[in-house]
Amino acid sequence: MKSTPFTKKHIALGAKMAEFAGYNMPISYSGINDEHAAVRNNAGVFDVSHMGEFILKGENALDLIQRVTSNDASKITDGQAQYSCLPNEQAGIVDDLIVYCIEYNKAYMLVVNASNIEKDWNWISRFNTKGVEMHNISDKTCLLAVQGPNAAKILQPLISNDIMNLKYYTFTKGVFAGVENVLVSATGYTGAGGVEIYFEDKDGAADKIWDAIFATGTPQGLKPIGLGARDTLRLEMGYCLYGNDIDDTTSPLEGGLGWITKFTKDFTAKEILQQQKAEGVKRKLVGFEMIDRGIPRHDYLIKDAQGNTIGKVTSGTQAPSLGKAIGLGYVAVSHSQLDTEIFINIRNTLVKAKVVKAPFA
């Protein structure tokens, strides 16, 4: 099992640790509900250094990104980021990712899911026929997500650049806690606001930045947060988790990602997706909330009132902010309209739920 530069700190803080994407990661510290509330109401720090980062450089870098991603990366310029996905040749999703424009048409950073680093690297490399310089910097890159409504305010004294007024999906580079060349972006996976901090772990940078963040933040209620609360926070916002809600067999249009699928350029499986858009998809990812008591879990079957299988749960939890159970799942389009009554098969009992609009929170 791999470690991040912060693993020893998590263990010293008493975190409950578990394997995730090949890494020894903190699942919770004080408890998922407590950590969830800390992020929603104030701020918390996630170690997500297991994520993957690729640098693409050269005059054909943008062309390669345009070829392999569904969104239109030509629309972002220096200091901007964009959510996108990598379609496969059957219009499934190789991965979802964030594209950072470091220098327009010349240098980009792609941030991919931890479990897909090698897969994504091989996929993108396959289309690199014009000599784009590619660097996998995943192993030497630290990533801390400081999320919550007060995150930027707590961190502002540690960096000279203005991060309190960073627009959503933009970033700045500067000296952070005495460490040079730190990238701070107004992105995150919680819907609670905040920033993500990317930097290379050299000359003790990881310890410097972690210690500075908590020296400044602890008196203001900043807490370390595990991956358990990250999952409940993202699910309340209806954010997809790769491997659960989207994967190689689900198309962006089925997964509600039509907004990152742009047909103004050529990319993998464009024709299949255009046909899906014209004809309509047969299944759709929907949000639902439980009406009767019960917690939906991944792979539970979704049924209609007659007991016919109409889909499957992809994610589900008891939502800490809402006091009710919620989930995401694929259902036949005929059952995807808002307020449609559906049933989740929980231990051979049909438990009533209804389709609702995400985000839930």
pLDDT tens digits, 107-134: 999 999 999 999 999 999 999 999 999 9
Q: 44-89 pLDDT, tens per residue?
A: 999 999 999 999 999 999 999 999 999 999 999 999 999 999 999 9
**Domain membership flag for residue 292:** yes
Query: Is residue 342, in this structure, part of any structural domain at all?
Result: yes
Examine residue 265 and state whether it is found in any structural domain, yes or no: no
**Is 46 within a domain?**
no
Model pLDDT, residue 274: 98
Given its phi and psi angles, is residue 100 left (phi above 0), alpha (psi -120 to 50 degrees) or beta?
Answer: beta
CB 355 within 8 A of CB 338: yes
- Give the three-state DSSP class for 186: coil
Residue 142 lies in a domain: no
Could you tell me if residue 340 is inside a domain?
yes
Domain span holding position 330: 282-356
Residues 258-300: pLDDT tens digits? 999 999 999 999 999 999 999 999 999 999 999 999 999 999 9
pLDDT in tens, 1-53: 999 999 999 999 999 999 999 999 999 999 999 999 999 999 999 999 999 99
**Strand 44-47 versus strand 223-225 pairing type:** parallel
AA identity, residue 355: V
Whether 347 is covered by a domain: the verdict is yes
Domain count, the chain: 1
Burial class (CB in 10 A: 0-12, 13-18, 19+), 36: buried
Q: Are 96 and 242 in contact (CB under 8 A)?
A: yes
d(CA 54, CA 329) in angstroms, rounded, equals 31
Domain-located, residue 100: no
CATH of residue 293: 2.40.30.110
> Which token pair is 43?
């701020």
